[in-house]
């Protein structure tokens, strides 16, 4: 399984961005997915997660009400809609997927996409 993010960029505070994460490979083995972010000098933290069928989602408190995670399994893509962006949202955003292989659960990361929110 391979993941590739896109959609990052520079945006002013209050603006919006939509990140995409395209999955390839053995996509039928993919289970839960999520978006994480890592700001300079900080650890990588969960932003939002979504279950395999897309019915259950969870969000970090800092993004609740502003970000929306979704997935389109027919097109092997996960999204993160980000609204009311703040400078504190500046980070590299990574997508993550848990998948099964030979009876084990493994995880894979994308290469990351940079989001910069200017004040």
Look at residue 103 and tell me whether its pLDDT is greater than 90: no
Q: How high is the mean pLDDT of the chain? A: 95
At residue 27, the pLDDT reads 81
Residues 6+ apart with CB under 8 A from 95: 3, 5, 19, 21, 33, 34, 35, 36, 78, 109, 110
Structure tokens at 13: 């505070």
> What percent of the chain shows pLDDT beyond 90?
88
- Higher-confidence position of 29 and 68: 68
Mean per-residue pLDDT for 27-34? 90
| Better pLDDT: 92 or 103 | 92
What's the mean pLDDT in 53-72?
A: 96
In percent, how much of the chain has pLDDT > 70?
Answer: 100
By mean pLDDT, which of 17-21, 23-27, 50-54, 111-115 is the weakest? Answer: 23-27
Whole-number Å distance between alpha carbons of 33 and 20? 12
Name residues whose C-beta falls within 8 Å of residue 61's C-beta, 6 or more positions apart in sequence. Answer: none
CB–CB of 22/3 below 8 Å?
A: yes
């Amino acid at each position: 399984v391979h993941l590739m993010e896109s959609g990052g960029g520079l945006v002013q505070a209050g603006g919006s961005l939509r990140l995409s994460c395209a999955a390839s490979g053995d996509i039928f083995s993919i289970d839960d997915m999520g978006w994480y972010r890592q700001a300079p000098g900080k650890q990588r933290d969960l932003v939002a997660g979504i279950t395999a069928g897309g019915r259950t989602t969870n969000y970090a408190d800092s993004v609740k009400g502003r970000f929306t995670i979704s997935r389109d399994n027919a097109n092997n893509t996960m999204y993160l809609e980000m609204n009311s962006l703040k400078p504190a949202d500046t980070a590299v955003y990574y997508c993550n997927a848990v998948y099964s292989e030979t009876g084990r659960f493994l995880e894979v990361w994308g290469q990351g996409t940079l989001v910069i929110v200017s004040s």
